[in-house]
Amino acid sequence: MEHNDTKPALLHDVLGMEILSASEGRATARMKVEERVCQPFGYLSGGASLALMETLAGYGSIALCAAGEVPLGIQVSANHMHAVPLGDEVTATATLLQHTRHLHVWNVDIHDSRGRLISSGRVTNCIKTLPH
């Protein structure tokens, strides 16, 4: 997604996330491990991983929303299993676990370029109707 200088950059732009696909029940994204997403020691920040999870689950929920509805993340939690060094790349896959009219629950797994599971998390989105 391209950045337009006339409006502020969105979080996924700032962190360098690339949404690869988003359909009903599944979404994928990629993010390079650059300085902007690292902790001071040169490894991917857990916070950046959580942002990737919530963003990706949001895009997955958009594919399920009706016109005039938007997903809002209300809960995200994760476990981080491995550190990813500066210069690597991660790929995230979100899979829909459960959805009702107003809640979507996603599992999101992040893998490094070697295929190792880096982080696994759950994201819950609340579906809101936009005011007219």
User: pLDDT tens across 28-61, in order?
Assistant: 999 999 999 999 999 999 999 999 999 999 999 9
**How many CA atoms lie less than 13 Å away from 75 in the CB half-sphere?**
8
Domain count, the chain: 1
Q: What is the pTM of this model?
A: 0.92
- Sheet order of strands, 103-112 included: 17-23, 26-32, 89-99, 103-112, 117-129, 69-80
Whether 1 is covered by a domain: the verdict is no
Q: How would residue 132 be classed by pLDDT, with cut points 50, 70 and 90?
A: confident
Look at residue 73 and tell me whether its pLDDT is greater than 70: yes
In the block, tokens 């009706």 appear at: 66
What gap in Å lies between CA 24 and CA 92, rounded to an integer?
A: 16
pLDDT reading at 1 higher than 50: no
Domain CATH code at residue 34: 3.10.129.10
**pLDDT for 5:** 60
In a domain, 50, yes or no: yes
Q: Quick one: which of 31, 32, 42 has its CA closest to 83? A: 42
Which residues are marked as active site?
Answer: 54
The verdict on residue 2 lying in a domain is no
Task: Note whether residue 6 is domain-resident.
Answer: no
Q: Quote the mean pLDDT of the chain.
A: 94
Domain-located, residue 103 = yes
Residue 5: inside a domain: no
Residue 87 structural domain: 11-129
| Span 74-94, pLDDT tens digits | 999 999 999 999 999 999 999
Q: Return the SS3 of 111.
A: strand
Residue type, 6: T
